[in-house]
Structure 1
Amino acid sequence: MSWKWEYAFGAQEAARTAPTGFLAEVERTSDELVRAAEALHIHGQTHDSADPKGGDVIVPGGMFTYQVVVRSERIYVVQITYLGF
């Protein structure tokens, strides 16, 4: 398995109506989070501690909230908020 990111919960539904420019920024930043998590957690599937805390990321147009699940080697985008700035 290799690290990936995906929308989770209601974020996937919200992504259907968000502007494409905003979604492109969310996706670009999520790709960066994947690269960072992959470098930090080299042996992700054998991880036996608590998952690290996720966070909020501000991107042009709004923000999103993510969670890291190391054993699944996933970054989940759990909420996106388009503010139009």
Structure 2
Amino acid sequence: MSDGWAWEYWWPETELDLGPELAGQIKERAEELLRAAETLHITGQRYEGGSETQVAYVKGGMFEYLVAPRLLKLVIVSVTAY
């Protein structure tokens, strides 16, 4: 993403346990959320607010994520497949 923003899983091995379809859905949605975060948190590293986990739903499951503007990251903290 532009301006140094990136997304990642809290546990790097998480993607290994996901099927390719769910992993692709999560990647697509995470990139959409990053574009929104870039717009909402323009100040980036100067951001002084807190952040709470949020939930995003995708085909085949859902995931909880945390936006960390000071780190320019969106971190996926848990994934639930259904």
Question: TM (normalized to structure 1)?
Answer: 0.85
| Higher-helix-fraction structure | 2
The count of corresponding residues between Structure 1 and Structure 2 is 80
Any unmatched runs of 5+ in structure 1?
A: none
Contact 1:15 / 1:80 at 8 angstroms: preserved in 2?
A: no
Question: TM (normalized to structure 2)?
Answer: 0.88
Q: Which residue of 2 aligns with 1:20?
A: 20
Structure 1 position 59, deviation (Å): 0.5
Two-structure CA RMSD over aligned residues (Å): 1.3
3-state SS of paired residue (1:57): strand
Structure 1 position 2, deviation (Å): 1.2
Contact 1:45 / 1:73 at 8 angstroms: preserved in 2?
A: yes
Aligned-residue sequence identity (percent) comes to 32
Structure 1 position 49, deviation (Å): 2.2
Q: Which residue of 2 aligns with 1:2?
A: 4
Q: Extract structure 1 runs of 4+ deviating beyond 6 A.
A: none
3-state SS of paired residue (2:45): helix
